[in-house]
Chains A and B, each alone.
Chain A
Amino acid sequence: MNKQERISFLILFFLFLFLGASFCFPEILKINFLPKKEFKLGLDLQGGIQLVYQADLSQIPEKEKKEAMETLKSVIEKRVNFFGVREPVVQVQGGKIVIELSGFSDPQKAIEEIGKTPFLEFREKKDEDFIPTPLTGRYLKRAQVGFDDVGNPLVLLEFNDEGTKIFSEITERNIGKPLAIFLDGKPISIPTVREKIPSGKAEITGKFSLGEAKELVRNLNAGALPVPIELVSYQIVGPTLGKASLEKILKAGLVGFLLITVFMILIYKISGLIAILCLIFFAISNLLLYKLIPVTLTLSGIAGFLLSLGMAVDANILIFSRTREELKIGKSLFQAFDEGFKRAWPAIRDGNLTTLVVNLILLFFGTSFVRGFATTLSLGILISMFTAIVMTKEFLKMIIFPKIQKIII
């Protein structure tokens, strides 16, 4: 490798570090020209609520269970959206619904609003207002999507016997007038009654897209929650606690990194320094990915990342120790390093793979603590296979060897 290539390698390396660091920490480095993206912090770091509901699917036929959960999810999503949380998460996990509201600090309200039965009602116009009628979602047998003569989607409603009676009365007295359908106190559709409807069947025409019609049908069918739900687990973290934890673990991370740095340089000299440079590259790459993917960072997730810092250096230690051995039996520096990388590889591979395998098994727990930890640790192990092995090797071979011939390990 000639001088020019060496210089461009170095420039690229440090440019990546600089840009990466600026993207990850624009506030600290006071660099503002890059696009802004925040780290996504989990509940335990920014405060918030996680609620887990178990749906009672015992009355639902096997085939319709999945659909019931989807309907339940969309009902809950609607309610959650009212809270004004920036990025609410509602997930279906088997027969459970997991709701995460980051930064939301009124658990009482959240639990009340989500748990209560969605309320569908018909309102008639009186003067300028819509006033409630006795007809509510309770009397709805079902709703489905239909099409008019020219193929426009519409929503078909079907009431049960009692509902049919009430509906016929209401339509009778409201001919030519609007009749509004309210969900949770908000109008979702205001059709005009054309005639008395004794059949218990109604259709809501309007300028629906097929998607909108389907959504409305889902909402109507969900007038009552499709299945009963029970709150089986929750976690509430106040905002102050989260902030304190974040500060502590960041400090811990910095100190942990410094300990590793001092240790590596003391024991492995210049090679150790190169390993640390590659470790910085490793750290920046991880942080970049956390922002870009994005990975939700929890306390356990950061712990996983810190652990992966130590594990990343393991590969370097194995390689350097081996290299020393090869030097001892009289090989040249270049040969010794080559041999060191080659011979250390099987142990590094097997070690990393077993850790990775266990990590993947952990993901089956599905709780947020585990997910955070296993995600960052696995990501770290995968990236370290590149930075600690390929990168350290290239660095030493290209930059160091041609310049310094001895005492580098």
Chain B
Amino acid sequence: MKEEKIFNFLKFKNLFIFIFFGIFILSVFSIFYFKPKMGLDFGGGTLIEIEFEKEKPNSQEIKQKLSELNLGEVIIQETEKNRVLLKMRKISEREKSQIFEKLKDAKEIRSEMVGPTISLELKRKSLWLTLFSLIAISVYIALAFKRITKNLSPLVFSTISFLGLFQNTIFLLGVISVLGKLSNAEFNISILIAILTCLGYGINDTIVLFDRIRENVLKRKTKDLSEIINSSISQTFSRQVNTSLVTIFPVLAILFFKVESLKFFSMVLVLGILNSTLFSLFVGGSMLRLIIKEL
């Protein structure tokens, strides 16, 4: 029989919790300071990606050519070598064909339009579905972890999970706000899906940890909660890391091969999964110890 290696994670519990809330506060700051750039899904409007047959004119020239059309503010982004992305208000088909007349040898690569009814509906749905997901997971945890001892109630487990999920959501919103400033990332449905998926998947590590804590409590080898938490984290450390890694691998590959429309989607997935793993490795147990002093 080999000696179990137990690392004293709880020694740093205050630091871990401090960092956890630090990230939360920074993210809140990022959201309000940078503000997530609303994509088409939530903001509405029209997007057209155009490929020029010959050399592409610069943004200024394009703006000039389109100025007579009364399109309101037109945002122009360069994508690939002969391509540009135009973003503007919701326009009619007639206005769209006028754009192509003005720009001459330009070809439509793709375009998208989302009217105000749809974007409003999606906004409303997003709020509800996010809330609903958070609650559904927390309730599930509460149901899955029945009361083990007097103090270790399902409510404690699900409260801690909820805090982790909520922080992760805010963290990822903060990330997408910063990325909006740095590289034009937009907040749209695909990003929200990535965030919600991180919640659903990210909780797995927390479940692994809590499951182990429950088991160790039931074994009754010791009555010291700190010892139980420390050994539970130590025992499950490598599997928490490994499961997250294998799930991140294919997502990293998507990032590596530059699938344009999944770029920020993949980034959010990777960061969200990492953050949730860090939570269950370092923060979840610390919080449990902070809330409950003894079994």
What is the distance, in angstroms, from B212's C-beta to the closest C-beta of chain A? 8
Give the contact stretch, choosing among B8-16, B26-34, B70-78, B203-211.
B203-211
Give the contact stretch, choosing among A31-39, A175-183, A259-267, A287-295.
A259-267
Question: Are B113 and A249 in contact, with the CB atoms below 8 A?
Answer: no
What is the distance, in angstroms, from A345's C-beta to the closest C-beta of chain B? 10
| Range for the number of chain A residues in contact with chain B | 35 or more
Cβ-defined partner of B93 (8 Å) among A111, A309, A311: A111
Q: How far is the CA of A111 from the CA of B190 in the complex (A)?
A: 26
Question: Are A362 and B193 in contact, with the CB atoms below 8 A?
Answer: yes
Question: Are B200 and A357 in contact, with the CB atoms below 8 A?
Answer: yes
What is the distance, in angstroms, from A382's C-beta to the closest C-beta of chain B? 14
Taking CB as reference atom, which chain B residue is nearest A305? B250
Q: Given A230-B115, A313-B246, A325-B235, are A256 and B253 neighbors across the interface (CB < 8 Å)?
A: yes
Set of chain B residues within 8 Å of A367, measured between Cβ atoms: 41, 122, 189
Name the interface residues of A307-322: CB closer than 8 Å to any CB of B: 307, 309-311, 313-314, 317-318, 321
Question: Are B257 and A248 in contact, with the CB atoms below 8 A?
Answer: yes
Set of chain A residues within 8 Å of B265, measured between Cβ atoms: 300, 303
Taking CB as reference atom, which chain A residue is nearest B132? A361
Question: Are A317 and B259 in contact, with the CB atoms below 8 A?
Answer: no
What is the distance, in angstroms, from A372's C-beta to the closest C-beta of chain B? 10
Give the contact stretch, choosing among A72-80, A197-205, A231-239.
A231-239
Secondary structure of the B side of the interface? helix
Question: Are A236 and B261 in contact, with the CB atoms below 8 A?
Answer: no
Cβ-defined partner of A306 (8 Å) among B4, B117, B190, B254: B254
Give the contact stretch, choosing among A6-14, A19-27, A346-354.
A346-354
Decide if A406 is an interface residue (CB 8 Å cutoff): no
- How many of chain B's residues have a CB under 8 angstroms from any CB in A? 69
Question: Are B193 and A373 in contact, with the CB atoms below 8 A?
Answer: yes
Question: Are A237 and B196 in contact, with the CB atoms below 8 A?
Answer: no
Question: Are A267 and B250 in contact, with the CB atoms below 8 A?
Answer: no
Decide if B6 is an interface residue (CB 8 Å cutoff): no
Question: Are A365 and B122 in contact, with the CB atoms below 8 A?
Answer: yes
Cβ-defined partner of A314 (8 Å) among B129, B204, B235: B204
Question: Are B254 and A252 in contact, with the CB atoms below 8 A?
Answer: yes
Q: Given A267-B242, A364-B129, are A354 and B259 neighbors across the interface (CB < 8 Å)?
A: no
What is the distance, in angstroms, from B135's C-beta to the closest C-beta of chain A? 10
Question: Are A358 and B133 in contact, with the CB atoms below 8 A?
Answer: yes
Q: Mark A210-241, 1 if CB is under 8 A from B, else 0.
A: 00000000000000000000111111111011
Q: Given A236-B108, A267-B242, A347-B208, are A361 and B196 neighbors across the interface (CB < 8 Å)?
A: yes
Question: Are B137 and A236 in contact, with the CB atoms below 8 A?
Answer: no
Name the interface residues of A20-54: CB closer than 8 Å to any CB of B: 44, 52, 54
Q: How far is the CA of A347 from the CA of B238 in the complex (A)?
A: 15
Decide if B7 is an interface residue (CB 8 Å cutoff): no
Q: How far is the CA of A334 from the CA of B161 in the complex (A)?
A: 35
Q: How far is the CA of A259 from the CA of B248 in the complex (A)?
A: 10
Question: Are A236 and B110 in contact, with the CB atoms below 8 A?
Answer: yes
Greatest chain B CB density within 10 A among A44, A309, A311, A347 is at A347
Q: How far is the CA of A249 from the CA of B256 in the complex (A)?
A: 10
Q: Given A329-B1, A355-B204, A362-B196, are A249 and B262 neighbors across the interface (CB < 8 Å)?
A: yes
Question: Are B256 and A234 in contact, with the CB atoms below 8 A?
Answer: no
Question: Are B242 and A233 in contact, with the CB atoms below 8 A?
Answer: no
Q: How far is the CA of A255 from the CA of B253 in the complex (A)?
A: 6
Question: Are B115 and A233 in contact, with the CB atoms below 8 A?
Answer: yes
Cβ-defined partner of A361 (8 Å) among B133, B190, B253: B133
Decide if A401 is an interface residue (CB 8 Å cutoff): no
Decide if B18 is an interface residue (CB 8 Å cutoff): no
Question: Are A241 and B109 in contact, with the CB atoms below 8 A?
Answer: yes
What is the distance, in angstroms, from B144's C-beta to the closest C-beta of chain A? 5
Q: Given A252-B256, A299-B259, A306-B250, are A321 and B242 neighbors across the interface (CB < 8 Å)?
A: yes
Q: How far is the CA of A330 from the CA of B253 in the complex (A)?
A: 40
Q: Mark A330-374, 1 if CB is under 8 A from B, else 0.
A: 100000000000010011001101111111011011010110011
Decide if B278 is an interface residue (CB 8 Å cutoff): no
Decide if B106 is an interface residue (CB 8 Å cutoff): no
Q: How far is the CA of A310 from the CA of B203 in the complex (A)?
A: 15
Question: Are A357 and B140 in contact, with the CB atoms below 8 A?
Answer: yes
Set of chain B residues within 8 Å of A107, measured between Cβ atoms: 108, 111
